[in-house]
Amino acid sequence: MPKRQKRVLVTGGCGFIPSNFIRHILAHTPYDVVSLDALTYAGNIENLRDVMGHERLSFVHGDIRDPDCVRDVVAEVDVIVNAAAESHVEKSIQEGASEFVKTNVEGTQILLDACRGTPIDRFILISSSEVYGTAERAPMDEEHPINPRSPYAATKAGGDRLAYAYYVTYDLPIVIVRPFNNYGPFQHPEKVLPKFIIQALRDEPLTVHGDGHASRDWLYVEDDAEAIESVMQADIDTVAGEVFNVATGIDISVQEIANHVLDALDKPPSLKVHVDERPGQVHRHIGSTEKAEQMLGWRARTSFEEGLEQTINWYAENRSWWESILTASESAFSSSAPAQPS
């Protein structure tokens, strides 16, 4: 009898990183993929349109906070990649933390509990570099103190440490991944890079918080997909209970990002405007790449110049994708609201 292929559950599969990851897994592995998504304002079925008919992909419209749904789906899979989240820092500041706690902490707990009742190969938690807060030393390695500075970051830290506790307490095969700032195709227009690109394409002002000095480690989403795949393929006895940064080791300020976008689209520097600094701003983020290189053999391959060019081209060629999101959620994207990295 032919051996059954591994089944991978990707929660939040219709979001930005998870949809790119699913496309990557379908193209580069023989695995079956189940995408589970509640389709919040950030989830977009269009993000998987080109692979929706793929024979190895199935879709469940469900919520990670629903224990019955989660138990049924988890019982059918070998690997879980929990990427579902409320992911927008600014929203957690402006609209309150309640939904963030429910999905990022409680949803993670419900998934973890489902794994206690069924044998699984591994549970990969997509955490975030935001759990570190502002860099106390550079680059930030996985031992950097956890000092979340926004409600979003605090809920990610909650899910991150809860997953670790389930590894220690219940011996579950947990691996925690902390990606730095992703960018690339299919990123919701509320996030800083697509926001700048769309503002520039529309000849609208690019709004920058404070003097724009805040810097981030910018990671092209396909590189992140490769990193998550390498965690999936690694020997579980080596990686269980470990935390991995997914970073480039280079930081670039928001001000420079705005300049790059204007430059690439041949728009005048006068389009950039500065507004008040954001409360809870993270001033510097730069990740150490050492552990992922040594233990996973992974390193980001896309230079910022290359990734930015591909991203700009994608937004220029896929206007209808972002225009329909803007029409549906004009409130989530107000051109007067400052653009922010997470």
Name the site residues for ligand NAD (rule: CB under 6 A).
11-12, 14-18, 37-40, 42-43, 63-65, 83-87, 103, 107, 126, 128-129, 156, 179, 181-182, 188, 342
Strands 252-253 and 215-216: what pairing?
antiparallel
Do residues 10 and 21 touch, judged by C-beta distance below 8 A? Answer: yes
Kindly tell me which of 16 and 298 has the beta carbon lying closer to ligand NAD: 16
- Report whether the peptide linkage leading into residue 139 is cis, meaning its omega lies within 30 degrees of zero: yes
Taking CB atoms, the residue at the shortest distance from ligand NAD is: 15
Kindly tell me which of 43 and 173 has the beta carbon lying closer to ligand NAD: 43
Q: Which residues of 10-29 are buried (b: 16+ CB within 10 A; e: fewer)?
A: bbbbbbbbbbbbbbbbbeeb
Q: How far apart are CA 331 and CA 36, in angstroms?
A: 26
- How does DSSP assign 148-191, residue by residue? --SHHHHHHHHHHHHHHHHHHHH---EEEEEE-EEESTT--TTS
Do residues 8 and 25 touch, judged by C-beta distance below 8 A? Answer: yes
Kindly tell me which of 48 and 271 has the beta carbon lying closer to ligand NAD: 48
Nearest distance from residue 204's CB to ligand NAD, in Å?
22
Kindly tell me which of 26 and 124 has the beta carbon lying closer to ligand NAD: 124
- DSSP secondary structure letter of residue 248: -
Kindly tell me which of 37 and 222 has the beta carbon lying closer to ligand NAD: 37
Nearest distance from residue 130's CB to ligand NAD, in Å?
7
- How does DSSP assign 249-305, residue by residue? S--EEHHHHHHHHHHHTT--GGGEEEEPPPTT---B--B--HHIIIII-------HH
Tokens of 103: 């999905």
Kindly tell me which of 20 and 207 has the beta carbon lying closer to ligand NAD: 20
Q: Torsions phi, psi of 108, nearest 5?
A: -65, -45
Nearest distance from residue 8's CB to ligand NAD, in Å?
15
Nearest distance from residue 246's CB to ligand NAD, in Å?
8
Nearest distance from residue 281's CB to ligand NAD, in Å?
16
Nearest distance from residue 67's CB to ligand NAD, in Å?
12
Nearest distance from residue 168's CB to ligand NAD, in Å?
22
Kindly tell me which of 156 and 272 has the beta carbon lying closer to ligand NAD: 156
- Sheet-wide strand order for 57-61: 57-61, 32-37, 7-11, 79-82, 122-126, 174-179, 243-246
Tokens of 163: 């997953």
Q: How far apart are CA 79 and CA 7, in angstroms?
A: 6
Kindly tell me which of 11 and 199 has the beta carbon lying closer to ligand NAD: 11
Nearest distance from residue 237's CB to ligand NAD, in Å?
26
Q: How far apart are CA 53 and CA 301, in angstroms?
A: 30
Nearest distance from residue 277's CB to ligand NAD, in Å?
21
Kindly tell me which of 67 and 205 has the beta carbon lying closer to ligand NAD: 67
